[in-house]
Amino acid sequence: MSIERELNKRSESKCELCAATENLKVYQVLPTKKGGIDESILACNTCIDQIENPDNVDLNHWRCLNDSMWSEHIPVQVVAWRMLSRLRSAGWPQELLDQMYLDEDTLAWAQATGEGEDDENKVIHRDSNGVILEHGDSVVLIKDLKVKGSSMVAKQGTAVRNIRLDHENAEYIEGKVDGQQIVIITQYVKKI
């Protein structure tokens, strides 16, 4: 059964965040390990647009989290926590956050994107041109790089897809080059 069909069944063909019934699609909750239904939600275009574009957020739209934060499905809880954290300065989202409980693994997943951290504490990854890199972005190498601990050389122009960010060091990202997971310094990449 396809992920979309499984999510439609799980959610009764409603957005798992706001319960809208139109323009629904699968939204993968990053960072993913295996993909699939356990790392995805069914969400409407409005919710997805506001999740991905913080400048488009309509605070009142997210009052729906009062209900959806109690979902039994972990990816829904993760997105609810992230949005409440993003909006907590408005007052009522902080009250909902205070009521919410996530186990240790779920909380680590929710925090993996840096949502909820104070801006001054956030580690921001930038490419060689100063463009902000996000988890899951694709980058291209701008020079040949020797890979420590192997004889491999990652060639200039190599695309690295679905990068992961090191949340403790703004200069490091991870990605696969020629099937090998390597750490890359951000000054040697350009976002595609």
Helices (H), 20-161: 45-52, 65-68, 74-87, 92-99, 104-111
Helix (H) or strand (E) holding 4: helix 3-11
Contacts of 187 (CB under 8 A, 6+ apart): 128, 171
128: number of Cβ within 10 Å: 16
pLDDT digits (tens, 9 = 90+) for 90-107: 899 999 999 999 999 999
Among 150, 146, 149, 151, CA closest to 188: 146
Q: Would you place residue 55 in the very low, low, confident or very high pLDDT band (cuts 50, 70, 90)?
A: confident
pLDDT digits (tens, 9 = 90+) for 118-174: 555 567 888 998 888 888 889 999 999 998 888 889 999 999 998 988 877 889 999
The pTM is what?
A: 0.65
